Amino acid sequence: MKRVEGKVALVTGGAGGLGAASARMLAREGARVVVTDRREAEARAVAESLGEAGLFVQLDVTQEDQWVHALARTVEKFGRLDVLVNNAGMGIVKDVEEMTLDEWKLVHSVNLDGVFLGCKHGIRAMKQCGAQGSIINISSIAGIVGVGQFPAYSSSKGGVRLLSKSVALHCAAKGYGIRCNSIHPGYVETAMVEALSQASGQAEKTRARMLKGIPMGRFGEPDDVANAVVYLASDESKLMTGAEMILDGGATAQ
């Protein structure tokens, strides 16, 4: 039997990178997957690649009414929600002196407010369906240790880590049977890491510096994170809640 056979998952930020990899891996392991993103063409293509197991719903995670619609559409199409992957995120490469208040608020609205709204409405959808659910929040090692060029990103991702613990404790106290955990990737070969490299003006030197800080000597791949998502979505992790999984090749162990 496949690891998440019969489960229904919703993935935010599913147009590419970690979200697309997670959607494909979940479907490969037997789930039906709702792929959401603001970018319609790319996310719809991911959903269509999953065949009958995929559905695209456009979603701006900062808009509460769109969350209500996306989850209603999920239940209408597939009858339930078992897994929520809050993956959508963004970063702005400016230090604390350069960043404007509007930029600070924008990053937090996507990275933290979006996760809050997903947890709030995802719990409701899971409860209504009687699901023993799993909420998986994609944070970052920037939520474990600070990054000087990323004050808003670090702050928001640290918030995701503690929000996940709060949600986990709330659900456990209420006896909902809903788990919540966070995943903290290090440098993964995605568009965001490429943008960080390019923003430095010395892309190759920046990548070499990043690589030097990883004891295992390699960048992560999207499927490394997707494998962790499948584990947390599956019953294999049924005792795991309020925890963080750090996938960084040993970077934060130093």
Q: Is the dihedral of CA 224, 228, 233, 237 positive or negative?
A: positive
Amino acid at 250: G
How far apart are the C-alpha atoms of 149 and 146, rounded to whole Å?
A: 9
Active site residue 176: no
For residue 150, give the 3-state DSSP assignment: coil
How far apart are the C-alpha atoms of 16 and 49, rounded to whole Å?
A: 13
Measured at the CA of 174, the angle between CA 13 and CA 4, to 5 degrees, comes to 45
Q: Which of 153, 176, 187, 231 is catalytic?
A: 153
How far apart are the C-alpha atoms of 133 and 7, rounded to whole Å?
A: 9
**Residue 83 Cα distances to 138, 211, 212, angstroms:** 13, 33, 36
* Residue 181 token pair: 């955990």
Phi, psi of 133 (to 5 degrees): -90, 170
How far apart are the C-alpha atoms of 174 and 132, rounded to whole Å?
A: 13
Crossing angle for the helix pair 17-28 and 40-49, nearest 10 degrees?
20
How far apart are the C-alpha atoms of 191 and 170, rounded to whole Å?
A: 34
Return the DSSP state at 234. S
Q: Which residues are catalytic?
A: 153
